[in-house]
C-alpha cells in the first residue's frame, strides 16, 4: 500500500461534524441551525461557549450590515485612520452609479462623525443633499448662485486675520505660510475662472502677470479687493507687472500682451456668466467652528461652466479655512478642531476643461492632515477617462489611488477593466458590483418600480484586501430628513393620492 492510501483508510480519531458517519453509528442526517444572538462584549460578557468576534473592528460610525453575515460594519475615514489604524490616510473615495445611495451613505458618516465632535464641511451641494443635515446640526448654510449669494475669489478670508494673530504670537514662519497659501489659492482661482471662461488655459506670461498684479494689489489696498481692482492694476501697468510681461519698455507692446487678459477680466468683473457670482464682495463668509454647507443647488445642470467654477471656488475656500484652523490650533491660538470635508459630484468640476485636475489637486491639498478626513464622490472611472488629455486622466486616477479606502456601489461591466488595476477587485467582487446596477423590477402590486437591487449596497475596499459588502439601512429619522424626492412626494399628496 502506498502511504497515501494508508492515510485514507485510517479511522478518524474524532467524529466529524455529523457524528460517526455510517449506519448504526449515530450519524445526524438533519442538522438544526443554532440560534444566533448578537450583542456587545458588555452585554454578553459571561456567555460561553461558541462566541465569535466580528470580522472588522467596531470602531467608527455604524454604517451598515455585512450582506452575508449580518455583522455590523463601523467605518469612517477618520476613525479607521486615527484609532483603528486600518488605512494609510483619512480619506475615502466613493464610486457608483447615480441614485444608489452614495450621498446618503456619506451623510450617515458625517452625522456619525458629528457625534464624535468632527465638523462636517460640505463643499458644494448641488442637489441639495446635505442642507437639511447641516441645518439639523446647527451649522452654517452658505447659498451661492445668481442672485443668491456671492463669493469673492480675491477675498483672502480669514487668512489676513490669522496671519496677524500668528505674528502676534511669535509664529512668523507659520504666518508667512498662511499668506503664501492664500496668495496661491487666489491666483489658482483667478486662472481657473479664466480657463473656464475661455475654454483654454491662460498662457504662462498671463499667469505671471496675474501673480504680480495680485501682489501689487495687496500692497496698495487695505480693503478686500475684487476682480475689478485687479483689472485696474493691470490697466495701470505698474513697473513690476510690466517687468514680468517682458514688454521691453514698450507700452504698446504691454497693451498687446495684456489685451486678452484685460478682455477676460472685464467680462468677469462686469457680471457675465461667471462674474456675477465671483466678482462681488463675499456675502456670507465661512466659519470654522460650525458644520458648513455651500448650497449651490440654484446653479442648474445646463450651466456646466458655472457649476465647475462654483464647485472649485467652494473647495478652495473650504480647504483654505481648514488649513488656517489647523495652523491656528497648532500655535495654540484656537482649540483643535476636526473636520470631515465632503466633495460630492467631483466629475462635474473636472470636466470643465484642460488642467482642471491640476487645479483641483492644488486647491484640495492640506498642509496639515491631522484630524481632517475627506470624502470624494463621483460616478465612474469612465467619467475620468473622458477628461481632455491622458495626463488629466492619470492625475484624476491618482485621487482614487491615494485614497485610504474606496467604497464602490453598483457599476457597469465596462468599468471593471479600468477599475480593477486601481482597486484590486476579485472576479466575485466584480460580479457583485455589476449585479447591483441592474434596473429595478416593476412591482405590479403597488403599481410602481421596486427599489433598485443595488440601493444602499456598497463594497468597502481597503488596499488589496477582500472587500466588505454591506447594506445601508436608513433609520426613520434619516428617511424623514433626507427625502430627496420631497417635492415629488408633496406633489403626489397634493394630487390626492393616498
Ligand atoms: N440605504 C438606503 N435605503 C433606502 N433608500 C435609500 C438608501 N440610500 C439612498 N436611498 C434613497 O435613494 C435616493 C438616492 O440616493 P442618493 O444618496 O441621492 O444617491 P446618489 O448620491 O448615489 O446619487 C434617495 O431618495 C435616497 O433617499
Ligand atoms: Mg449624490
Give the tens place of pLDDT for each residue, 396-450: 999 999 999 999 999 999 999 999 999 999 999 999 999 999 888 887 777 777 8
473, part of any domain: yes
Angstrom distance (rounded) from CA 240 to CA 319? 30
239, part of any domain: yes
More confident residue, 42 or 163: 163
21, part of any domain: no
Are 104 and 199 in a shared domain?
Answer: no
pLDDT confidence tier of residue 9, bands split at 50, 70 and 90: low
Pocket of ligand 1 (CB under 6 A): 96, 98-104, 129, 455-456, 472, 474, 482, 484-485
Atom of ligand 1 nearest to the CA of 483: 27
- Give how many domains the chain has, as a whole number: 2
Phi and psi for 176 in degrees, rounded to 5? Answer: -65, -40
Domain boundary among 281, 307, 334: 281
Determine the average pLDDT of the residues in 323-341: 94
The Å distance, Cα 17 to ligand 2 centre, comes to: 48
Domain boundary among 235, 253, 281: 281
8 A C-beta contact, residue 224 and residue 299: no
Residue carrying the nine cell digits 511669535: 170
- Provide the pLDDT for residue 497: 44
- Provide the pLDDT for residue 163: 96
Domain boundary among 257, 281, 305: 281
28, part of any domain: no
Are 82 and 225 in a shared domain?
Answer: no
443, part of any domain: yes
32, part of any domain: no
Three-class DSSP category at 372: strand
Handedness of CA 293, 298, 303, 306 (dihedral sign): negative
Are 93 and 159 in a shared domain?
Answer: no
Are 344 and 457 in a shared domain?
Answer: yes
Are 106 and 186 in a shared domain?
Answer: no
CATH code for position 89: 3.40.50.300
Are 448 and 306 in a shared domain?
Answer: yes
Are 350 and 461 in a shared domain?
Answer: yes
Three-class DSSP category at 294: strand
Are 192 and 235 in a shared domain?
Answer: yes
The Å distance, Cα 105 to ligand 2 centre, comes to: 9
Angstrom distance (rounded) from CA 81 to CA 60? 10
Handedness of CA 35, 37, 43, 45 (dihedral sign): positive
More confident residue, 271 or 380: 380
Are 496 and 365 in a shared domain?
Answer: yes
Angstrom distance (rounded) from CA 426 to CA 403? 19
Are 277 and 354 in a shared domain?
Answer: no
Are 373 and 444 in a shared domain?
Answer: yes
8 A C-beta contact, residue 315 and residue 151: no
Atom of ligand 1 nearest to the CA of 97: 22
| Residue span of the structural domain in which 488 resides | 55-147+290-498
Are 367 and 482 in a shared domain?
Answer: yes
Angstrom distance (rounded) from CA 228 to CA 182? 19
For the cut 50, the answer to whether the pLDDT of residue 496 exceeds it is no
Nearest to 265 by CA among 228, 307, 304: 228
Amino acid at each position: 500500500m502506498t502511504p497515501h492510501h494508508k492515510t485514507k483508510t485510517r479511522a478518524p480519531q474524532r467524529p466529524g461534524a455529523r457524528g460517526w458517519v455510517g449506519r448504526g453509528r449515530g450519524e445526524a442526517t438533519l442538522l438544526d441551525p443554532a440560534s444566533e444572538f448578537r450583542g456587545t462584549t458588555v452585554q454578553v460578557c459571561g456567555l460561553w461557549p461558541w462566541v465569535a468576534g466580528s470580522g472588522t473592528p467596531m470602531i467608527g460610525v455604524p454604517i451598515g450590515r455585512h450582506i452575508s453575515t449580518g455583522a455590523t460594519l463601523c467605518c469612517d475615514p477618520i476613525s479607521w485612520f486615527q484609532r483603528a489604524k486600518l488605512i494609510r490616510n483619512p480619506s475615502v473615495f466613493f464610486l457608483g452609479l447615480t441614485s444608489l445611495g452614495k450621498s446618503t451613505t456619506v451623510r450617515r458618516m458625517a452625522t456619525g462623525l458629528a457625534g464624535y465632535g468632527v465638523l462636517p464641511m460640505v463643499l458644494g451641494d448641488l442637489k441639495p443633499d446635505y442642507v437639511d443635515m447641516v441645518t439639523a446640526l446647527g451649522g452654517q448654510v452658505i447659498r451661492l448662485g445668481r442672485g443668491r449669494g456671492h463669493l469673492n475669489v480675491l477675498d483672502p478670508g480669514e487668512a489676513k486675520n490669522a496671519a496677524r494673530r500668528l505674528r502676534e504670537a511669535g509664529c512668523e514662519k507659520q504666518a508667512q505660510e498662511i499668506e503664501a497659501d492664500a496668495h496661491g489659492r487666489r491666483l489658482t482661482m483667478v486662472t481657473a475662472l479664466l480657463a473656464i471662461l475661455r475654454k483654454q488655459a491662460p498662457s504662462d506670461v498671463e499667469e505671471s502677470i496675474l501673480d504680480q498684479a495680485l501682489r501689487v494689489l495687496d500692497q496698495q489696498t487695505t480693503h478686500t479687493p475684487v476682480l475689478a481692482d485687479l483689472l485696474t492694476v493691470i490697466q495701470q501697468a505698474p513697473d513690476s507687472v510690466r517687468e514680468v510681461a517682458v514688454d521691453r519698455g514698450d507700452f504698446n507692446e504691454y497693451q498687446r500682451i495684456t489685451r486678452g487678459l484685460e478682455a477676460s477680466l472685464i467680462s468677469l468683473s462686469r457680471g457675465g456668466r461667471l462674474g456675477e457670482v465671483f466678482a462681488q464682495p463675499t456675502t456670507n463668509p465661512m466659519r470654522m467652528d460650525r458644520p458648513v454647507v455651500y448650497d449651490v443647488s440654484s446653479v442648474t445642470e445646463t450651466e456646466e461652466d458655472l457649476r465647475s467654477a462654483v464647485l472649485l471656488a467652494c473647495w478652495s475656500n473650504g480647504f483654505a479655512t481648514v488649513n488656517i484652523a489647523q495652523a491656528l490650533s497648532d500655535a495654540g491660538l484656537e482649540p483643535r478642531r476636526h473636520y470631515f470635508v465632503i466633495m460630492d459630484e467631483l466629475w462635474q468640476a473636472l470636466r470643465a476643461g484642460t488642467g482642471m485636475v491640476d487645479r483641483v489637486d492644488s486647491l484640495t491639498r492640506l498642509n496639515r492632515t491631522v484630524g481632517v478626513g475627506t470624502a470624494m464622490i463621483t460616478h465612474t472611472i469612465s467619467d475620468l477617462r473622458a477628461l481632455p488629455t491622458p495626463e488629466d486622466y492619470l492625475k484624476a486616477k491618482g485621487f482614487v489611488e491615494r485614497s485610504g479606502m474606496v467604497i464602490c456601489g453598483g457599476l457597469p461591466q465596462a468599468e471593471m477593466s479600468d477599475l480593477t488595476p486601481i482597486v484590486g477587485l476579485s472576479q466575485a467582487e466584480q460580479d457583485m458590483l455589476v449585479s447591483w446596477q441592474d434596473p429595478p423590477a416593476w412591482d405590479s402590486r403597488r403599481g410602481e418600480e421596486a427599489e433598485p437591487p443595488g440601493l444602499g449596497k456598497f463594497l468597502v475596499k481597503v488596499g488589496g484586501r477582500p472587500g466588505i459588502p454591506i447594506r445601508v439601512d436608513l433609520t426613520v429619522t434619516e428617511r424623514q430628513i433626507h427625502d430627496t424626492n420631497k417635492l415629488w412626494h408633496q406633489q403626489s399628496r397634493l394630487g390626492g393620492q393616498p
